[in-house]
Amino acid sequence: MLEIYNSLSRFKETFKPLHEGHVGMYVCGPTVYGDAHLGHARPAITFDLLYRYLQYLGYKVRYVRNITDVGHLEHDADEGEDKIAKKARLEQLEPMEVVQYYTNRYHRDMAALNVLPPSIEPHASGHIIEQIAFVQKILDRGYAYVSNGSVYMDVEKYAKDYPYGKLSGRNLNDIVTETRELDGQEEKKHSYDFALWKKAAPEHIMHWPSPWSEGFPGWHMECSTMGTKYLGEQFDIHGGGLDLIFPHHEAEIAQSCAALGHETVHYWMHNNMITIAGKKMGKSYNNFITLEQFFKGEHPLLSKPFGPMVIRFFILQAHYRSTVDFSSEALEAAEKGLQRMQEAYARLQKIQPSQTTSNDLQTISNLRTRCQEAMDDDLNTPFVIAALFDSTRAINTVHDGKGTISEADLKELREVWKTFAIDILGLRLEEQGGDAGKQKAFNGAIDLLLGIRLQAKQNKDWATSDKIRNELTALGFQIKDTKDGFEWSI
């Protein structure tokens, strides 16, 4: 049995891929029944960072991130309505319309965050045959049972042969006390047994034929199936949010051992959660903020719009294992930090080399090593950002004419910034201000134009005043003169 690592610390020394030069990586993707929110951004950015870093280290990476479009039930367990099917029922859509709609929007949001697309993005609903075969293997090896058309994992039997709960550090007793009693459990031998296949209730609209019933796969089954289909019976890295360790990833380990006789994953890696003003994100707290709402500034908890790069920078400022607490103030601080980096990056492209590098700038010589060591130390992005910030002082010194940099040092400095800030952290530094900045500039330009019109009116220059009003109106603006000046809208 493979040993489970839950850390990539001293990455370069300890990370040993199963096949030299190649890395197989699987990350649990979204359940596509709603818009992506801050909680989706964190795993996407964390594993995008790892994907980029592995490629920088020279590995050929096959990155699989799935789309969950069936089998994820309301209670995240074995009970309740399918999340996709519920949305389809409420909106009177075909379930695959819901899937396509939210998948498109997920892709749009990920592209905005500069998250690279995975190598393969398989859908659970496209792998029903493979999932049925996987369930059959578990049945054949005696670790599952059929009950009323559904198939359940026999956890007690499994736990006699394999250490169930090792990833989450739980034992069977802990799990017994944690498992809620829910309707439909009379089918199961024990409350902690989980569904591998569920018989569809008559009202359930997404179902497929199987040897046991017309039904659908259990949620955990898709990742075991698609991971092994595309990456092999053993692969290097499996990632996801910390909230997936139990039951989802624990169940995946059990399914692999039960079906194949061994574990599949060599390294498990989990990003920590995002809280909002100290609270978990959840519908009941009304603190679910979608990425689109961030980009547009449309949520009562937001002081203004925040561009996608601010969100990315905000997430990378924390180590992926730490919790991150969101607040509008924290994002405003991240925005300032990002602007400083954008400014330094723009200056770095403009400054000119001299014969030598002045003594007070010698510290930049170890910048690459600092960034590299930080990334090797379990992807320590806050340290990479701190190192880059330190080098902004050198950039500004040269820019202000208070120091000099040699041609070789300038070339190296530009390369380090390109490698670590642009390619690995994935920050788009060439865009000043992002969406929020563009909006601000646009509003400022219209205010300026209407200010000129006000001035013209006061000077009784009616031709200019009318021209500005008429042409803006023709472009779709509504202009209202008020006591103190003007108001406008589109």
d(CA 75, CA 263): 27
Give the nearer residue to Zn ion in terms of CB position, either 223 or 344: 223
Give the Å distances, CA to CA, from 127 to 88, 190, 206, 252, 381. Answer: 21, 28, 14, 16, 36
Residue 374 phi, psi (nearest 5): -65, -45
Give the Å distances, CA to CA, from 158 to 136, 161, 186, 257, 260. Answer: 16, 5, 20, 9, 13
- Residue 269 contacts Zn ion per CB under 5 A: no
Minimum gap (Å) between residue 111 Cβ and Zn ion? 22
Give the nearer residue to Zn ion in terms of CB position, either 224 or 404: 224
- Residue 387 contacts Zn ion per CB under 5 A: no
Minimum gap (Å) between residue 240 Cβ and Zn ion? 6
Segment near Zn ion (CB under 5 A); pick from 28-36, 203-211, 344-352, 405-413: 28-36
Give the nearer residue to Zn ion in terms of CB position, either 28 or 49: 28
Give the nearer residue to Zn ion in terms of CB position, either 31 or 293: 31
d(CA 136, CA 196): 10
Give the nearer residue to Zn ion in terms of CB position, either 248 or 370: 248
Burial (Cβ within 10 Å: 0-12, 13-18, ≥19) of residue 172: middle
Minimum gap (Å) between residue 223 Cβ and Zn ion? 3
Q: How many residues bind Zn ion (CB under 5 A)?
A: 2
Minimum gap (Å) between residue 224 Cβ and Zn ion? 9
Burial (Cβ within 10 Å: 0-12, 13-18, ≥19) of residue 122: buried
d(CA 165, CA 171): 6
Q: Are 276 and 249 in contact (CB under 8 A)?
A: no
Residues 211-230, interacting with Zn ion (CB under 5 A): 223
- Residue 28 contacts Zn ion per CB under 5 A: yes
Q: Are 423 and 410 in contact (CB under 8 A)?
A: no
Minimum gap (Å) between residue 123 Cβ and Zn ion? 13
Strands (E), 74-128: none
Segment near Zn ion (CB under 5 A); pick from 27-35, 39-47, 361-369, 425-433: 27-35
Give the nearer residue to Zn ion in terms of CB position, either 43 or 308: 43
Minimum gap (Å) between residue 43 Cβ and Zn ion? 11
Give the nearer residue to Zn ion in terms of CB position, either 195 or 311: 195
Segment near Zn ion (CB under 5 A); pick from 25-33, 72-80, 285-293, 352-360: 25-33
Residues found near Zn ion in the complex (CB under 5 A)? 28, 223
